[in-house]
Amino acid sequence: MGVQNRVAIVTGSGSGLGEATAMMLAQNGAKVVVNDVVPEKVDQVVEKIKAAGGEVMGVVADISKKDQAQAMAKQVVERFGRIDILVNNAGISRDKGLLKLTEEDWDIVLNVNLKGPFLLTQAVVPYMKEQKFGRIVNIASRAYLGWPTQANYASSKGGLVSFSRSMALELAKSQITVNCIAPGLIRTPLYDALPENIKENLVKSQPTGTIGKPEDIGYGVLFFADDDADYVTGQTIFICGGKSVLSSLSV
Protein backbone atom coordinates (compact mmCIF):
# COMPACT_ATOMS: atom_id res chain seq x y z
CA MET A 1 0.00 0.00 0.00
CA GLY A 2 2.98 2.34 0.29
CA VAL A 3 2.76 5.83 1.83
CA GLN A 4 0.05 7.32 -0.38
CA ASN A 5 -1.76 10.19 1.40
CA ARG A 6 0.14 9.59 4.63
CA VAL A 7 1.41 12.67 6.52
CA ALA A 8 5.16 12.54 7.12
CA ILE A 9 7.42 14.80 9.19
CA VAL A 10 11.11 14.67 8.22
CA THR A 11 13.41 16.56 10.57
CA GLY A 12 16.62 18.05 9.26
CA SER A 13 15.20 17.89 5.75
CA GLY A 14 16.64 21.17 4.54
CA SER A 15 19.53 19.31 2.88
CA GLY A 16 21.34 15.99 2.52
CA LEU A 17 19.73 12.76 3.66
CA GLY A 18 16.67 14.52 5.02
CA GLU A 19 16.00 16.39 1.80
CA ALA A 20 16.33 13.22 -0.28
CA THR A 21 14.00 11.37 2.08
CA ALA A 22 11.41 14.15 2.03
CA MET A 23 11.53 14.24 -1.78
CA MET A 24 11.09 10.48 -2.06
CA LEU A 25 8.17 10.40 0.36
CA ALA A 26 6.48 13.17 -1.62
CA GLN A 27 7.15 11.40 -4.92
CA ASN A 28 5.42 8.35 -3.48
CA GLY A 29 2.31 10.26 -2.54
CA ALA A 30 2.91 11.33 1.05
CA LYS A 31 2.08 14.79 2.36
CA VAL A 32 5.44 15.98 3.64
CA VAL A 33 6.48 18.35 6.41
CA VAL A 34 9.94 19.80 5.78
CA ASN A 35 11.71 20.79 9.00
CA ASP A 36 15.02 22.50 9.62
CA VAL A 37 16.44 25.29 11.76
CA VAL A 38 17.48 27.32 8.70
CA PRO A 39 14.48 29.06 7.07
CA GLU A 40 16.14 29.38 3.67
CA LYS A 41 16.79 25.66 3.48
CA VAL A 42 13.19 24.85 4.42
CA ASP A 43 11.90 27.23 1.73
CA GLN A 44 14.14 25.74 -0.95
CA VAL A 45 13.05 22.15 -0.33
CA VAL A 46 9.39 23.14 -0.02
CA GLU A 47 9.57 24.83 -3.43
CA LYS A 48 11.23 21.76 -4.98
CA ILE A 49 8.46 19.48 -3.72
CA LYS A 50 5.76 21.91 -4.83
CA ALA A 51 7.35 22.17 -8.29
CA ALA A 52 7.22 18.38 -8.55
CA GLY A 53 3.52 18.41 -7.70
CA GLY A 54 3.78 17.28 -4.09
CA GLU A 55 1.76 18.47 -1.10
CA VAL A 56 4.06 20.01 1.47
CA MET A 57 4.43 22.43 4.35
CA GLY A 58 7.58 23.83 5.91
CA VAL A 59 8.20 24.30 9.63
CA VAL A 60 11.25 26.06 11.03
CA ALA A 61 11.84 24.56 14.48
CA ASP A 62 14.61 23.38 16.78
CA ILE A 63 13.47 19.91 17.77
CA SER A 64 15.85 19.87 20.75
CA LYS A 65 13.50 22.40 22.40
CA LYS A 66 10.34 20.86 23.87
CA ASP A 67 8.07 23.82 23.16
CA GLN A 68 9.13 23.93 19.51
CA ALA A 69 8.71 20.17 19.07
CA GLN A 70 5.23 20.29 20.57
CA ALA A 71 4.29 23.34 18.51
CA MET A 72 5.38 21.69 15.28
CA ALA A 73 3.29 18.59 15.95
CA LYS A 74 0.28 20.80 16.66
CA GLN A 75 0.85 22.81 13.46
CA VAL A 76 0.98 19.66 11.37
CA VAL A 77 -2.26 18.29 12.82
CA GLU A 78 -3.97 21.65 12.31
CA ARG A 79 -2.90 21.61 8.65
CA PHE A 80 -3.30 17.94 7.71
CA GLY A 81 -5.47 16.49 10.49
CA ARG A 82 -3.04 13.72 11.46
CA ILE A 83 0.60 12.59 11.69
CA ASP A 84 1.37 9.14 10.24
CA ILE A 85 5.13 9.06 9.75
CA LEU A 86 7.95 10.63 11.74
CA VAL A 87 11.50 10.49 10.41
CA ASN A 88 13.94 11.67 13.10
CA ASN A 89 16.79 12.60 10.80
CA ALA A 90 18.18 15.87 12.22
CA GLY A 91 21.69 15.44 13.51
CA ILE A 92 25.02 17.17 14.00
CA SER A 93 28.58 16.14 14.82
CA ARG A 94 31.49 17.74 16.63
CA ASP A 95 34.31 15.23 16.34
CA LYS A 96 37.25 15.61 18.71
CA GLY A 97 39.51 13.38 20.74
CA LEU A 98 38.42 12.76 24.32
CA LEU A 99 40.80 15.27 25.93
CA LYS A 100 39.77 18.02 23.50
CA LEU A 101 36.05 17.30 23.72
CA THR A 102 34.31 20.06 25.65
CA GLU A 103 31.18 19.81 27.73
CA GLU A 104 29.47 22.04 25.15
CA ASP A 105 30.51 19.64 22.35
CA TRP A 106 29.00 16.76 24.28
CA ASP A 107 25.78 18.54 25.21
CA ILE A 108 24.89 20.00 21.82
CA VAL A 109 25.41 16.70 19.97
CA LEU A 110 23.39 14.71 22.52
CA ASN A 111 20.68 17.39 22.57
CA VAL A 112 20.13 17.41 18.82
CA ASN A 113 20.80 13.74 18.02
CA LEU A 114 19.11 12.05 20.99
CA LYS A 115 17.05 14.50 23.03
CA GLY A 116 15.46 15.91 19.85
CA PRO A 117 14.07 12.56 18.66
CA PHE A 118 12.81 11.86 22.20
CA LEU A 119 10.98 15.20 22.38
CA LEU A 120 9.43 14.96 18.93
CA THR A 121 8.43 11.31 19.41
CA GLN A 122 6.78 12.34 22.66
CA ALA A 123 4.98 15.12 20.78
CA VAL A 124 3.58 12.99 17.93
CA VAL A 125 2.77 9.71 19.69
CA PRO A 126 -0.51 10.93 21.27
CA TYR A 127 -1.85 11.66 17.76
CA MET A 128 -0.61 8.31 16.46
CA LYS A 129 -2.18 6.47 19.39
CA GLU A 130 -5.51 8.17 18.77
CA GLN A 131 -5.55 7.11 15.12
CA LYS A 132 -4.09 3.66 15.96
CA PHE A 133 -1.40 3.98 13.31
CA GLY A 134 2.16 5.27 13.25
CA ARG A 135 5.54 4.76 11.64
CA ILE A 136 8.60 6.19 13.38
CA VAL A 137 11.97 5.87 11.65
CA ASN A 138 15.07 7.06 13.47
CA ILE A 139 18.22 7.80 11.50
CA ALA A 140 21.20 6.61 13.54
CA SER A 141 24.65 5.88 12.07
CA ARG A 142 27.06 3.04 11.58
CA ALA A 143 29.27 5.11 13.87
CA TYR A 144 27.26 3.93 16.87
CA LEU A 145 29.46 0.81 16.73
CA GLY A 146 32.29 3.10 17.87
CA TRP A 147 34.93 5.26 16.20
CA PRO A 148 37.89 7.33 17.45
CA THR A 149 37.18 11.05 18.02
CA GLN A 150 33.41 10.42 17.92
CA ALA A 151 32.59 9.64 21.56
CA ASN A 152 29.73 12.17 21.63
CA TYR A 153 28.37 11.33 18.18
CA ALA A 154 28.62 7.55 18.60
CA SER A 155 27.01 7.77 22.04
CA SER A 156 24.11 9.82 20.67
CA LYS A 157 23.50 7.38 17.83
CA GLY A 158 23.89 4.33 20.05
CA GLY A 159 21.37 5.89 22.40
CA LEU A 160 19.02 6.42 19.46
CA VAL A 161 19.18 2.71 18.59
CA SER A 162 18.37 1.77 22.19
CA PHE A 163 15.60 4.37 22.32
CA SER A 164 14.11 2.88 19.14
CA ARG A 165 14.09 -0.64 20.58
CA SER A 166 12.46 0.51 23.80
CA MET A 167 9.82 2.56 22.00
CA ALA A 168 9.06 -0.34 19.65
CA LEU A 169 8.11 -2.49 22.63
CA GLU A 170 6.20 0.26 24.40
CA LEU A 171 4.16 1.34 21.37
CA ALA A 172 3.58 -1.98 19.61
CA LYS A 173 0.07 -2.50 20.99
CA SER A 174 -0.90 0.94 19.66
CA GLN A 175 -0.02 -0.19 16.11
CA ILE A 176 2.96 2.16 16.05
CA THR A 177 6.20 0.74 14.67
CA VAL A 178 9.60 2.16 15.55
CA ASN A 179 12.67 1.26 13.53
CA CYS A 180 16.16 2.55 12.92
CA ILE A 181 18.44 3.10 9.93
CA ALA A 182 22.22 3.20 10.43
CA PRO A 183 23.76 4.85 7.36
CA GLY A 184 27.39 4.39 6.47
CA LEU A 185 29.37 6.59 4.10
CA ILE A 186 26.91 8.64 2.05
CA ARG A 187 27.63 11.32 -0.54
CA THR A 188 26.50 14.55 1.10
CA PRO A 189 27.82 18.14 1.00
CA LEU A 190 29.89 17.27 4.08
CA TYR A 191 31.56 14.39 2.21
CA ASP A 192 32.07 16.46 -0.93
CA ALA A 193 33.92 19.11 1.09
CA LEU A 194 36.57 16.64 2.29
CA PRO A 195 40.11 16.70 0.82
CA GLU A 196 40.52 14.31 -2.12
CA ASN A 197 43.04 12.06 -0.34
CA ILE A 198 40.64 11.51 2.55
CA LYS A 199 37.79 10.74 0.17
CA GLU A 200 39.99 8.22 -1.66
CA ASN A 201 40.83 6.45 1.60
CA LEU A 202 37.18 6.36 2.60
CA VAL A 203 36.18 4.80 -0.70
CA LYS A 204 38.95 2.20 -0.41
CA SER A 205 37.63 1.20 3.01
CA GLN A 206 34.23 0.37 1.55
CA PRO A 207 33.60 -3.33 0.72
CA THR A 208 31.66 -2.19 -2.35
CA GLY A 209 34.28 0.38 -3.32
CA THR A 210 31.46 2.90 -3.72
CA ILE A 211 29.79 5.72 -1.82
CA GLY A 212 26.12 5.60 -0.92
CA LYS A 213 23.59 8.10 -2.24
CA PRO A 214 21.16 10.05 -0.04
CA GLU A 215 18.38 8.27 -1.91
CA ASP A 216 19.65 4.95 -0.55
CA ILE A 217 18.52 6.08 2.90
CA GLY A 218 15.22 7.25 1.46
CA TYR A 219 14.52 3.74 0.15
CA GLY A 220 15.07 2.36 3.64
CA VAL A 221 12.65 4.90 5.09
CA LEU A 222 10.05 4.01 2.47
CA PHE A 223 10.30 0.36 3.50
CA PHE A 224 9.80 1.02 7.21
CA ALA A 225 7.11 3.65 6.58
CA ASP A 226 5.01 1.48 4.27
CA ASP A 227 1.45 0.72 5.37
CA ASP A 228 2.19 -2.99 4.92
CA ALA A 229 5.30 -2.96 7.18
CA ASP A 230 3.18 -3.42 10.29
CA TYR A 231 5.04 -6.53 11.50
CA VAL A 232 8.49 -4.92 11.36
CA THR A 233 9.41 -3.05 14.52
CA GLY A 234 12.39 -2.60 16.82
CA GLN A 235 14.83 -3.25 13.99
CA THR A 236 18.02 -1.51 12.88
CA ILE A 237 19.05 -1.82 9.25
CA PHE A 238 22.54 -0.85 8.12
CA ILE A 239 22.71 0.93 4.78
CA CYS A 240 26.47 1.13 4.52
CA GLY A 241 27.75 -0.90 1.58
CA GLY A 242 28.68 -3.74 3.92
CA LYS A 243 31.03 -1.70 6.10
CA SER A 244 29.20 -2.68 9.30
CA VAL A 245 30.27 -6.29 8.74
CA LEU A 246 33.87 -5.28 9.24
CA SER A 247 35.51 -4.33 12.51
CA SER A 248 34.63 -0.76 13.45
CA LEU A 249 38.34 0.04 13.27
CA SER A 250 38.88 -1.33 9.75
CA VAL A 251 40.43 1.11 7.28
Whole-angstrom Cα distance, residue 29 to residue 51?
14
Task: Out of 153, 191, 219, 231, pick the active-site residue.
Answer: 153
Annotated active-site residue 153? The verdict is yes
Q: Among all residues, which ones are annotated catalytic?
A: 153
